[in-house]
Chain A
Amino acid sequence: MILFLQQIINGLSVGSVYALIALGYTMVYGIIKLINFAHGEVMMAGAYFAFVVAISSRFPFPIVLFISMVMAAIVGIVIEKLAYKPLRNAPRISALITAIGVSLFLQNLTLVIFKADPKIMPVLIEKKPINIGSLQIGTVTLTTLILAIVFMVILDVFIKKTKPGKAMRAVSEDKDASVLMGINVNKTISITFAIGSALGALGGVLYGITYTQVYPTMGIMPGLKAFVAAVLGGIGLIPGAVLGGFVIGMIETISKAYISSQWSDAIVFGLLIVVLLFKPTGILGKNEKEKV
């Protein structure tokens, strides 16, 4: 029973990282209908930013994290401006292929700068177990879970209550109508990329700390799983990304613990296929009808 509880907590922690990354996928999809396949690499870049800051300074974890998130936000804005904005009125497949191109570019750029061998992530969060009764939770696991939830709550408040947040919702529903309200669509899209990328970087930093290393291809697998999470929950829906992330993290952890660690990825992707067979719009997705 204790073991099971521990696995649940691990699952939540892993899932919260997927959820953070999935948020970036779903927010960008919501606003420009693009699957930003470079998002896993933005997450990787975030981890590298934290690595570079951590080895070249004595900044504490919160500052390292902050710098990494800001840098990743800038990377996200630049990617959108240079790669996606010129294609905004092009067929969707062009932007999708470009996203894959950006993804490969960032991986190889990192390869050139940092070489292929994994770098050891400095200890940013002191690792020691916390005992709650007979339950033992690592500080990293706990920090990951808490940070992820805090940022999700901030995001939720931002989107529901603030003007830029409402502008994001409006633009994702109807660009022309948003323009008529006086919303600067380009600025709103930039803000969306910035937030999505910063959350991705948070995921990347936590992922890097958990596995104590960073490497150029580290964004591929979590990026893919976060994408699956976003689709599973209902792409374009923010609660869907969070739900999907936790579901994927939980299933992965549980199947690693009780079924087989080799099969866990297959089980996760298999689940996606099953869900999409029965509910193509994802768990929270709705088939919307338009009134004419």
Chain B
Amino acid sequence: MLKIENIDVYYDKIHAIKNVSFEVRAGEVVSLIGANGAGKTTILKTISKLMEPTHGVILFDDQPLSKLAPHQMVYLGMAHVPEGRRVFAKMTVEENLYMGAYIRKDKTHIEKDLERVFEYFPRLKERTSQPAGTLSGGEQQMLAIGRALMSKPKLLLMDEPSMGLAPLLVQEIFNIIQEIKKSGTTILLVEQNANQALQIADRAYVLETGKITMSGNAKELLNDESIKKAYLGG
């Protein structure tokens, strides 16, 4: 579904992503784990074209993305839950969710998907007319995920959904990711929380200072000694 081939990304002169290649197949959950500053967010931003690679190709359903405008990604079936949630703080919860369905015209299906989001996150339903800026961090994360789901994506890119949340909420968010996976959505998950990310994933890649250093079956990586040491706390 998604193929990244030898991409390089720069912030001015800083070489942030170095010759990275990986792929996400339809139906999979793939985790990209790595420490702070390894380049995980940069990769996701490059996939949704908020940043441009200097070299390399990104293919989505075998179609190169280079000629498309950033706002067209969602038309292809890609949705991005950005780092730091980035909900529209002054809009209500409901308006935020409808913004997720901005490009869609099938009104009846939009309503159904709204109901589905409320099933995942009943707390959002209680707060539909509240401005998103007044929600707690966890609720904002739920809203960001719900908003992305409203575009009915084939591929969901998630950037650190567990960041800054209390342990109980982290568990809740990962349970939902599990549910989304079951519904048939392909997921590329970027996480510092390597333990959770590996438990939920089919496959995983380890990113270190802009390079992929390990890859493989998530369960195997979970038991790998060097991963245990570096990311799972012994």
Selected from A167, A179, A290, the residue in CB contact (under 8 A) with B70 is: A179
Is the C-beta of B72 less than 8 angstroms from some C-beta in chain A? yes
Q: Is the interface of A mostly helix, strand, loop or mixed?
A: helix
Bound complex: CA A180 to CA B90 (Å): 18
**CB distance A184 to B71 under 8 Å?**
yes
**CB distance B151 to A176 under 8 Å?**
no
Q: Which of B14-22, B26-34, B75-83 contacts A (4 or more CB under 8 A)?
A: B75-83
Within 8 A of A (CB), among B46-91: 48, 50, 69-75, 79-80, 82, 84, 86-91
Bound complex: CA A179 to CA B99 (Å): 11
Q: How far is the CB of B101 from chain A (nearest CB, A)?
A: 9
Bound complex: CA A167 to CA B91 (Å): 11
Bound complex: CA A269 to CA B133 (Å): 34
The interface residues of chain A lying within 8 Å CB-to-CB of B166 are none
Selected from B72, B86, B98, B137, the residue in CB contact (under 8 A) with A177 is: B86
Digitize A249-292: 1 where CB-to-B-CB distance is under 8 Å, 0 elsewhere. 00000000000000000000000000000000000000010111
**CB distance A173 to B91 under 8 Å?**
yes
**CB distance A173 to B90 under 8 Å?**
yes
Bound complex: CA A290 to CA B87 (Å): 11
Selected from B91, B140, B151, the residue in CB contact (under 8 A) with A291 is: B140
**CB distance B102 to A183 under 8 Å?**
yes
**CB distance A291 to B50 under 8 Å?**
no
Is the C-beta of A91 less than 8 angstroms from some C-beta in chain B? no
**CB distance A182 to B103 under 8 Å?**
yes
Q: How far is the CB of A153 from chain B (nearest CB, A)?
A: 20
Most buried by B among A176, A180, A185, A290: A180
**CB distance B133 to A291 under 8 Å?**
yes
Is the C-beta of A174 less than 8 angstroms from some C-beta in chain B? yes
Q: How far is the CB of B194 from chain A (nearest CB, A)?
A: 22
**CB distance B99 to A181 under 8 Å?**
yes
The tally of residues in B whose CB lies under 8 Å from a CB in A reads 32
Within 8 A of A (CB), among B123-157: 133, 137, 140, 147-148, 151
Is the C-beta of B5 less than 8 angstroms from some C-beta in chain A? no
Selected from B74, B88, B137, B151, the residue in CB contact (under 8 A) with A169 is: B88
The interface residues of chain B lying within 8 Å CB-to-CB of A291 are 133, 137, 140
**CB distance B84 to A292 under 8 Å?**
yes
Is the C-beta of B164 less than 8 angstroms from some C-beta in chain A? yes
Bound complex: CA A182 to CA B148 (Å): 11
**CB distance A180 to B74 under 8 Å?**
yes
Is the C-beta of B100 less than 8 angstroms from some C-beta in chain A? yes
Is the C-beta of A72 less than 8 angstroms from some C-beta in chain B? no
The interface residues of chain A lying within 8 Å CB-to-CB of B73 are 180, 182
Q: How far is the CB of A226 from chain B (nearest CB, A)?
A: 24
**CB distance B89 to A173 under 8 Å?**
yes
22 contacts between A and B (CB under 8 A): A163-B102, A173-B91, A174-B86, A174-B88, A176-B82, A176-B86, A177-B86, A177-B87, A177-B88, A178-B71, A179-B48, A180-B73, A180-B79, A181-B74, A181-B103, A181-B147, A181-B151, A182-B71, A182-B74, A182-B75, A184-B69, A288-B133
Interface residues of A (CB under 8 A from B): 163, 166-167, 169-170, 173-174, 176-185, 288, 290-292
